[in-house]
Structure 1
C-alpha cells in the first residue's frame, strides 16, 4: 500500500508539471505557436466548436500563424472568434485562409510575461506541496511501523523535490524563451 501512495503522489505531481506546460503554452512569446489558439472556439452550425476541429493551424514563418479552415464557409466565424478572443491578435482574411501576425514584444511586456510565468510556476509548486501533504496524511493512516513510515516520508519528499525541480525547469525554459530577443 505504501508503494501505491508513493506512485499516486508521483503521478499527480507529473500531472501538475504537465498542467503548467499547458498553461504556459497560452502565453505568447513573440513567436508563432499554434498552441495560443487552443482556447479559441467558433460558432459552427449553431454549436461552439474548438478551432482545431474547424481548421488546420500552421507556422509558415517565425511570427505568422496560418489558419486554413476545412470548410470555407466557416472562415468568417473563425475570423470573428479570433478577433473576439483575448489574444490581442488581428486576423487578416484573404478569402481562403486567415493570417495572424504575432507582434514583437517590447522589453516591458517581456518582463511582465516573465512575472506571469513565475506566478504560474508558484501555483504549480503549491499544488505539488499539497499533493505531498495529502500523501503524508495517507501514509500516517496506514498500519505500518514507524521505520517504514519514516522511509515512506523520505521517499515522498524525494518525489516532491523532483516535482518542484521539474516545475522550475519548465518555468526557466519559458522565461528564457520570453526574454530572448
Structure 2
C-alpha cells in the first residue's frame, strides 16, 4: 500500500466521521439531521432524501415534501422510529418537524456522542496505520526493504496518521462549539 493509497483511505474515514458528526443535532433545524433516516419503499430501505425534498423554512422547522404523497405515512413512521426524538406533523401534503431548542443536559449528551464518533474515526485511522505498518514489516522480512527504509516508511505513515487525527479533532471542536452555542 502506497502512502497515497493510505491517505485516500484515511480521507474516506475522516469524511465518514464528518458525516456522522453532521447528523448530530445542533440548536437550529437542519435537513442533515435526517441524513441517516431510511424509509422502506417497496420493500427496499431507501434514504429519505431520495424520496422527498427536505427544506428548512425557518430555524426551528424541517419540512419534508415527498415526491409520492401516498408514502407520507411510511415516511412519518420511519422518522418516528429513527430515535431522533422528533414528532412529525403530517398535513396530507407535507410533513413538518418542529425542532425544539436544546436543554443544557441534551447539549452535553450530544457533545458526548460527537466525541464517541470522533473516537471511532480515530480507531479506524489507527487500524489503517497498523495494516500499513504490518505490510512494511512483512516487506522488510522478505528483504524488499532495508531496516532503515522500513523505519523511514513507518515514520512517514505515523506523520500521515497525525495529520488526519488533527483534522478529526478540528472537526470535533467545531461541532462541540456548534452544539453548545445557544
Q: Give TM-score, length-normalised by structure 2.
A: 0.90
What is the Cα deviation at residue 5 of structure 1? 2.7
Distance in 1, matches of 2:136 and 2:179, equals: 41
Moved more, 66-75 or 80-89: 80-89
Distance in 2, matches of 1:130 and 1:63, equals: 40
Moved more, 171-180 or 116-125: 116-125
Is 1:120 aligned to residue 112 of structure 2? no
Distance in 1, matches of 2:119 and 2:79, equals: 30
What is the Cα deviation at residue 47 of structure 1? 4.2
Q: Kindly report which structure 2 residues correspond to 1:55-94, keeping only aligned pairs within 5 A, or say none.
A: 55-94=52-91
What is the Cα deviation at residue 17 of structure 1? 0.6
Corresponding residue pairs, total? 178
What do you get for the CA RMSD once the two structures are aligned? 1.6
Is 1:12 aligned to residue 9 of structure 2? yes
Structure 2 stretches lacking a partner, 5+ long: none
- SS for the counterpart of 1:59 is strand
Structure 1 stretches lacking a partner, 5+ long: none
Q: Give TM-score, length-normalised by structure 1.
A: 0.90
Matched-pair contact (CA < 8 Å) for 1:5–1:139: no
- SS for the counterpart of 2:2 is helix
